[in-house]
Amino acid sequence: MDSIWIKGGARLQGEIPISGAKNAALTLLPCALLTEEPLTLGNLPRLADVDTFAHLLNQLGVSTSVAGVKKGQYGRKMTLQANDIASTVAPYDMVRKMRASVLVLGPMLARAGESTVSLPGGCAIGDRPIDLHLKALEALGATIELAAGYVKASAPRGRLRGGDFSFPVVSVGATENALMAAVMTTGRSNLYNAAREPEIVDLCNLLVAMGAKIEGIGSGHLIIDGVEGLHGTEYEVMPDRIEAGSYACAAAMTGGSINLIGARPEEMSATLNALAHCGMIIEFHAKGVRVSADSKIRPVSLATSPYPGFATDMQAQMMAMLCLANGDSILEETIFENRYMHVPELRRMGAEVDIHGRSAIVRGVDKLTGASVMATDLRASMSLVLAGLAAEGETEVLRVYHLDRGYERLEEKLSGVGATIERRSAG
């Protein structure tokens, strides 16, 4: 199994191109199910999750073809076409690999009038977000049955109708599924307390380019007038604000200066504000954002919250950075339970972090020390890489398949700004 080896201590300086957003790509791909015409997505990141989703779409009858890319070029262009829906069943062996696979439920239901999708692994209906997906679809007229670990949804007379739904809590995935289902209903739908993340805006913009009628884009109240059908189009995936924020933390932790080419500051303002409070110099320019360290990292208190608040997907990376702050910081995780699994591994490198329920007290230390550590999830993996970049000595990060799910050619990008980092294969 591969690992990432890092020799820490180098000051990182230079440019890093920001890839297409993983979280946006996984939402845009299932839109291919909504039309029989070709959908071409550019700036699609080369990630394990994108490949897994493409394989799932292939099983459902969507053809995929990838245009050739130049050597050294990031991203790719993929054309997807669903002339016919060959199957309306998303099996467990595919969905278990990636929770985002549940996003085929809404568009298949809209296009084919029925959809059967495995419950994501370990998902208990009632206290997990999948419950909101189903309730939103029921508000659009869907009939939902649960049996043998599968959700079977059907539309009476083969087509959903317009309806209203108010999300009791903000849910990105449920908003996405409801949107993709609502665009081809009969009548008008209102989604209240909808997620406002930039990735939701990206989805809305693609759907409008395909012929959908959506008002209130970027707000918590989305108004969708259903249309008979959608057409194909070409569309560029938005840049990854989480990847950009991760590399910004790398600049801070190594006392460096990194130019994040393609980053959109307006979509990552909460992260940039947090970095500024920690003493980083933030410069906006026509090509992106430059983040530079000017002094010792200052401590901060942060709580994750839905957009435009501080993203839960940046919590682990920010924690790694605050391990080197000049004082004590407090982090509160309000979105997900048990998202501090990286803490024991950071402690192995000399970090001082105390967990109290959903709160973490991060006591800044003078230095981190390289160690062999194990990744538990995607963002936790990146926090360990960041710690390794700043640590004295050598760090080995195991289970890097987590990193491959969300960071395109990470070693290449970090090597380009001065890091000593390489991928190693066991045996």
Whole-angstrom Cα distance, residue 425 to residue 5? 10
Based on the domain organization, do 27 and 102 belong to the same domain?
Answer: yes
Residue in 31, 123, 204, 249 annotated catalytic: 123
Residue 335 marked in a binding site: yes
Residue range 184-191: average pLDDT?
A: 97
Task: Say if CB 382 and CB 316 are below 8 A apart.
Answer: yes
Q: Are residues 261 and 230 in the same domain?
A: no
Is pLDDT larger for residue 123 or for residue 248? Answer: 248
Residue 61 has pLDDT above 50, yes or no: yes
With bands split at pLDDT 50, 70 and 90, how would you rate the model's confidence at 334?
very high
Q: What is the pLDDT of residue 427?
A: 58
* pLDDT at res. 62: 98
* Lowest mean pLDDT, pick from 53-67, 291-305, 336-350: 336-350
Identify whether residues 248 and 221 lie together within a single domain.
no
Residue 128: pLDDT over 80: no
Report the pLDDT value the prediction gives residue 72, as an integer from 0 to 100. 66
- 123 pLDDT exceeds 50? no
- Only one residue has tokens 């990182």, namely 12
Question: Is the pLDDT assigned to residue 190 strictly greater than 70?
Answer: yes
Are 201 and 220 in contact, with CB atoms under 8 Å apart? Answer: no
- Of 191, 206, 236, the one marking the end of a domain is 236
Give the percent of the chain with pLDDT over 90: 87
CA 420 to chain centre: 27
Q: Among positive and negative, which fits the CA dihedral 140, 170, 248, 8?
A: negative
For residue 278, indicate whether it is catalytic. no
H or E segment to which residue 397 belongs: strand 394-398
Point out the least confidently predicted range of 127-141, 237-251, 389-403: 127-141
- Pair (291, 374) in one structural domain: yes
pLDDT for the residue numbered 350: 98
Peptide bond into 308 cis (omega under 30): yes
Please check if 404 is assigned to a binding site. no
Tokens of 276: 């500024």
354/408 same-domain check: yes
The tens digit of pLDDT for each residue in 288-310 reads 999 999 889 999 999 999 999 99
210 and 293: one domain? no
Are 221 and 262 part of one and the same domain?
no
Q: Are residues 226 and 312 in the same domain?
A: no
Sheet holding 280-285, edge to edge: 13-17, 257-261, 288-293, 280-285
313 is in an annotated binding site: yes
d(CA 378, CA 400): 9
Domain extent for 278: 2-19+239-425
Q: Determine whether the annotation assigns residue 129 to a binding site.
A: yes
Q: Which one is predicted more confidently, 121 or 382?
A: 382
Statement to judge: residues 137 and 115 lie in one domain: yes
Beta bridge partners of 15: 259
How many domains is the chain partitioned into structurally?
A: 2
The tens digit of pLDDT for each residue in 92-104 reads 888 888 888 999 9
Which of 175, 202, 236 is the last residue in one of the domains? 236
**What pLDDT does residue 46 have?**
94
Contact 116, 106 (CB under 8 A): no
Residue 338 — very low, low, confident or very high, per pLDDT cuts 50/70/90? confident
The terminus-to-terminus CA distance of the chain in angstroms comes to 8
Residue 224 assigned as binding residue: no
Both 260 and 191 in one domain: the answer is no
Task: Compute how many other C-beta atoms are within 10 angstroms of the C-beta atom of residue 404.
Answer: 19
pTM: 0.96
pLDDT at 121: 57
Helices of type H across 103-148: 105-112, 130-139
pLDDT of residue 352: 98
| 203 and 271 co-located in one domain | no
Residue 126 pLDDT: 35
Q: What mean pLDDT is reported for the chain?
A: 94
Predicted pLDDT at 322:
98
Among 214, 236, 258, residue at a domain's last position: 236
pLDDT at 261 over 90: yes
pLDDT value at residue 157? 87
pLDDT 10s digits, 200-209: 999 999 999 9
Q: Which residues contact 73 (CB under 8 A, 6 or more apart)?
A: none
State whether 107 and 226 are in the same domain: yes
CATH number at 300 reads 3.65.10.10
